[in-house]
Amino acid sequence: MITLKGDTIYLRSLEPEDLEFVYAMENDQSIWEVSNTNTPYSRFLIRQYLENAQQDIYEAKQLRLAICQDEDFPAIGLIDLFEFDPRNNRAGIGIVIQKKENRGQNIGSEALELLINYAFFNLNLHQLYANISTNNEASIALFTKFGFEKIGIKKDWILLNNHYHDEAIFQLINKNI
């Protein structure tokens, strides 16, 4: 079980009680572009996922944490380490805040900072990377704020509303290793 505390938010491991929240997030078509989701998920599949969410990152090759504002309040977003590669000491990182009214309040910044620190200082990762649509200015600003550098563009990578969009890859190298 992981809990990472910041000044105004904390990150915690997913719990069985998060079923409806994760179900709503995974089936919200408005965020499928940033989550690389193409089809809806059933409650059954999400329940199975939550039952296995307590696996160690070395087993699961991913870590998904709930973003919470207060210990008495439910999750407002999710932040992930994915494609965890312990041999090369790297992982992808992604974040999504469910409701628009919770965005732009420094929640994403604080959550990203907590997970970067956990990845670099607890998991001893050498690098993190993020795949971001080139038209997602808010995410680009968030990641570059923490030193992520654009290292390339994947042309016509995302098909959205019958139009192809480019996706940039951003990388952050741990200078402490």
Q: Where are the domains of the chain?
A: 4-173
> Is domain 4-173 in CATH 3.30.210.10, yes or no?
no
Rounded CA separation 150/171 (Å):
7
Ramachandran assignment for 44, one of left (phi > 0), alpha (psi -120 to 50 degrees), beta (any other)? alpha
Model confidence at 38: pLDDT above 70 = no
Token pair 């996922």 is found at 49
Kindly write down the DSSP assignment for every residue of 29-63, as one continuous string. Answer: GGGHHHHT--S---HHHHHHHHHHTTS-HHHHS-E
pLDDT top residue among 43 and 83 = 83
Which amino acid appears at position 175 of this protein?
A: K
Beta pairing class for 75-85 and 63-68? antiparallel
Rounded CA separation 129/158 (Å):
18
pLDDT average, residue stretch 79-102: 92
| Confidence category of residue 92, pLDDT binned at 50, 70, 90 | very high
Kindly write down the DSSP assignment for every residue of 127-160, as one continuous string. Answer: EEEEEEETT-HHHHHHHHHTT-EEEEEEEEEEEE
